[in-house]
Amino acid sequence: MERQSKANSNTWQAWHYKAACSVLAVCLLAACKTSAGGAGGSGAELMKSEEAYFASVLDHTFRFNTLSAPVKIDLKGPQKEMRAKAQLKIICDDRIQLSVQPFLGIEVFRIELTNDSVKILDRMNKRYLAESYGEMKGKTNIDFNFHNLQSLFTNNIFIPGERRLSSKQLRRFRITKDSGAGNLKIKDQTGMFYTFTTGKEEELLSTSINDRHENHTLTWDYSDFQMIEKQRFPFKMKAGLTSDRKTQGTVTLTFSTPEIDRPLKTDFTIPSGYTRVTFSQIIKSLDLQ
């Protein structure tokens, strides 16, 4: 019994490491260095075809007040793989909450991101994190932007570090397109490049974020589009992180019966007896440095 108990404990700890490592890497590195600033475009007068194309891309913006869905998570790292079930809740421009429940609906940890902070509840180790993005930036060199991450989760294009996107901002993008697809590219003030790739119907199929030397790349691909309340939404998203041309890991999110604009309740009550830790401690314990 003692050996079995120890084995079960090791299994839970191994699972927790895999889940936390991958989810944190995707969620936090997704918005790496997304500070405000514009670039792109030659300044020349844009052709009407480009204006029509940009307008069509904006017409595909997924609009919602709330979004909730059961999500199957498939994580693959260089040496680790795992699967888990989770519940995703998004209140537009307010918060994103992910509850990971791998076994029989038992929550292992919860992540909540808001406009100004990130919180993590680690039920396995009875600890929690609550830090502002300012605190995280000072320790990790990450300019974290909530609205950019929300756009990644909802299949929308965005301008780095900004909250809204309108037709007036067309000139900030460099547009290339052919009969099969189109690309909208923009650079922020830190030198990060963002490429949004669209399909034949101007729907967003992929978002790619690169550093200026292309040493690190985050790709976020969308597929299996289905209708939700008369809007097309990708039921499958695959995020991949590459460093020095080597794949560091991928996470695939498969949505099941997503719902929009339904009343949502979110909670982040911290149980008594939990120890508060810092983001630096989380990173160190997960070997993400």
Percentage above 70 pLDDT, the chain: 78
Name the residue among 30, 32, 207, 24 with its Cα closest to residue 112: 24
**Which pLDDT does position 35 carry in this prediction?**
36
For strands 95-100 and 109-114, give the pairing: antiparallel
Residues 247 and 240: beta-carbon distance below 8 Å: yes
Is the pLDDT at 33 greater than 60? The verdict is no
Residues 217 and 194: beta-carbon distance below 8 Å: no
Distance, first Cα to last Cα, the chain: 37
For strands 66-76 and 259-260, give the pairing: antiparallel
Is the pLDDT at 184 greater than 90? The verdict is yes
pLDDT tens string 193-210: 999 999 989 999 999 999
For strands 117-122 and 259-260, give the pairing: unpaired
Q: Which helix (H) or strand (E) holds 287?
A: none
pLDDT tens string 128-169: 999 887 766 655 454 548 999 999 999 999 998 888 899 999
Is the pLDDT at 214 greater than 90? The verdict is no
Residues 97 and 112: beta-carbon distance below 8 Å: yes
**Strand ranges in the chain using DSSP code E only, listed in sequence order:** 66-76, 81-91, 95-100, 109-114, 117-122, 127-132, 174-177, 182-187, 193-198, 204-210, 216-228, 231-243, 246-255, 259-260, 275-277
Distance CA 187, CA 160 (A): 8
- Tell me how crowded residue 157 is: count the other CB atoms within 10 A of its CB: 20
pLDDT tens string 86-99: 999 999 999 999 99
